[in-house]
Chains A and B, each alone.
Chain A
Amino acid sequence: MKIHIKNGRLIDPRNQIDAQCDAFIADKRIAAIGVPPEGFVADQVIDASGLIVIPGLVDAAARLREPGYEYKATLESEMAAAVAGGVTSLACPPDTDPPLDEPGLVEMLKHRARSLSLCRVFPVGALTRGLEGCELTEMAELTDAGCKAFSQADAPLTDTRVLLRAMQYAATFGYSVWLRPQDSFIAKDGVAHDGEVATRLGLPSIPVVAETIALSTMLHLARETGARLHVCRLSSAAGVELVRAAKREGLALTCDVSMNHIHLSEMDIGFFNANCRLSPPLRSLRDRAALRAGLLDGTIDIICSNHSPVDEDAKQLPFAEAEAGATGMELLLPLVLKWAEQDGMPLLEAMKLVTVNPAQLLGQKVGYLSVGAHADICIFDPEATWVVEPAALKSQGKNSPFLGYEVRGRVRYTLVEGQVAYQA
């Protein structure tokens, strides 16, 4: 299958290209950019006039809910959502049921994902058995089975000795450890940022120190062990400052933020809107501004969707009882575009945060459009607007804090491995 994508504006952050130029695909790979290879005869021509052609998005955190939570979502529904959102590679956290702590489970997941041949799925293995924070998983075996990193997802790891050893062990093999900083004692029972809104609504709260204490611990252990640390879902100004200082000192770490947290704050909870029940909690406007500043100065490397589909019943509950999470993959591109426009970030720079940076974190040769690279491509209309509503979403999870919002940026084609996986 040979495809000619013509007349589009091609943006490839890794190769620093932002220009009107054509792309040529042959044998699942990029055959040429700009000028067709000799003798190229396209089987399909995609007219990308007025559209933008970018590497397929790489989402550093998307829960597919399999195995164990098929009532919330399935691989079929969520991988369809991925390609509808222009996501061609995703990392899925290990908090399934059972958690991804055994090679067999990871192989099964990879096999299921491959058979659907939609997007690439990179499992993140459990750092501890059952995510219980007590015993190490077989990280080397899990890596052989296909895990690209190790994480506790949102499960607590309270025993710092276990964390020290997990990081030492991971560092032995050069594995990357992804941790979300939250002290589980201080955060216990909390459902909202410890601030004005939680005080007004009488919601049990999570103070910022829950993040900074855990983050400080992680940074100390990363220095001590030399483990490759990736900090997940930063939420506070103080957290951004700690990461900034650690990077300045030369510590090799990366960090991400969810798209929800760069657009929303505790104020969006309004009168107990359960769609704004997220983990970590939405924090103050000041924290949101600091997260955005962290994106601008490179402290934060990645924006992820933190896609966490939740079934309808689990949200039709009083705020504190509602399950945390929101669907997200189909909103990742529009919300990154919105942020880039608001903060004056050139698209070439903004797209790094959802392509080449997360691809590097995963150590995968995706997220760019060099000749010979995988032909994973997203083609979108930057002007098309659409309204976020349940019927517009492919994901089985219909809950989003952005329901009712009009967003700009609509995916027209998603190509994975040189095949059209989605078209609208």
Chain B
Amino acid sequence: MNNPQLNKKGELQHLLSTEGLPASIIRNILDRATSFVATAEGDEIKRVPLLHGKSVFNIFFENSTRTRTTFEIAAKRLAADVVNLNIGSSSTSKGETLLDTVDNLCAMHADMFVVRHAQSGAAHLIAQHVAPEVHVVNAGDGRHAHPTQALLDMFTIRHYKKEFHNLRVAIVGDILHSRVARSQIHALTTLGVPEVRVIAPKTLLPSMVEKLGVRVYHDMQEGLRDVDVVMMLRLQNERMQGALLPSAQEYFKYYGLTQEKLALAKEDAIVMHPGPMNRGVEIDSSVADGSNSVILPQVTFGIAVRMAVMSMLAGAK
């Protein structure tokens, strides 16, 4: 099967998923992002005009503040023209299909789409549909993938841990519904992390998750023992419906990250979270704001990583 995100020369054509992304391309993105970090962290906003004259359309069929904003900042720092469209769920009720919307925007000469959609596979559908000179970045599709989040997580891990081949990483929480978790797992295993653990109750794990190359833990204390990285996931409030969980209180007691549980991990373990956090549901405030937390640097790195992805797609050297 052809990898739909690479062109015939094996270069990145779209960023749809971390699955099937060669390690060399991931490393390239991380290296390139390193060169942007100074730019991203600088007091004055430096512009690297690699996308000058290009139009980037952020089309968000699902609400998001953080991801859309960081994409917007990243595109602007690359000197692209940025158009934000918050389409929400209303456009489908007006009768316009996803591909109609995309066709209309293509007619406005979009060079790149950054897409978020509630359905798994939406970004693939758009990527198959657009002309070959148009690039698609998946900013989250259903439960499937959120590759830029995973890449910024890899950047963060590399920043603090330097290497991947000697790490034990635990991903904790709602794996079943999480596109972030899926993308993290593929990125971590591709980069050679020898042990990726997932920690969750059975109702929040997809079937045969071990086929993705992870070890499954239901007991958080056991799962956190001696890990180098703890990646927490957001727990949506609606999970209390549909008989997935009894209550947020019980969830926090057994799967919330507290100082006591974190103490089981390595002393220098880093704690990550893709945001937005539910303090007191999946993570205790003292951990979120504590010395092991790298949650805010993740956000900063996110801009650099998204600059790297967009400039690489645009073919800029």
Contacts and interface: CB of A to CB of B under 8 A. Distances in A.
Contacts, number: 71
A313 interface: yes
Interface string A159-198: 0000000000000000000000000000000000011101
B108 interface: no
Given A317-B98, A318-B98, A200 B212 contact: yes
Interface in B111-135: 117, 119-122, 124-125
Contacts of A271: 1, 4, 121, 124
B19 interface: yes
Nearest to A192: B120
A339 interface: no
Interface stretch (A3-11, A80-88, A116-124, A201-209): A201-209
B124 A272 contact: yes
B167 to A, nearest CB: 23
Interface residue range, chain B: 20 to 34
B97 A198 contact: no
Given A199-B207, A199-B209, A272-B121, A316 B182 contact: no
Nearest to A270: B1
A317 B142 contact: no
Contact of B119 (A196, A199, A207, A321): A321
B144 interface: yes
Contacts of B125: 272, 316-318
Interface string B130-168: 000000000001111100000000000000000000000
A320 interface: yes
A319 interface: yes
Interface residues of A, number: 22
Contact of B120 (A196, A202, A313): A202
29 contacts: A195-B207, A195-B208, A196-B208, A198-B207, A199-B206, A199-B209, A199-B211, A200-B182, A201-B120, A201-B144, A202-B141, A202-B142, A202-B143, A202-B144, A202-B145, A203-B143, A203-B144, A205-B206, A271-B121, A272-B124, A316-B99, A317-B97, A317-B119, A318-B98, A318-B119, A318-B121, A318-B125, A318-B142, A319-B119
User: Shortest 9 CB-CB distances between A and B: which pairs?
Assistant: A202-B143, A272-B121, A318-B119, A202-B144, A199-B206, A202-B120, A318-B122, A319-B121, A318-B121
Interface of B: 1, 4, 19, 97-99, 117, 119-122, 124-125, 141-145, 179, 182, 206-209, 211-212
Interface of A: 194-196, 198-205, 207, 270-272, 313, 316-321
Given A201-B144, A204-B143, A271-B124, 11 more contacts: A195-B207, A199-B209, A200-B212, A202-B141, A202-B144, A202-B182, A205-B207, A317-B125, A318-B98, A318-B120, A318-B141
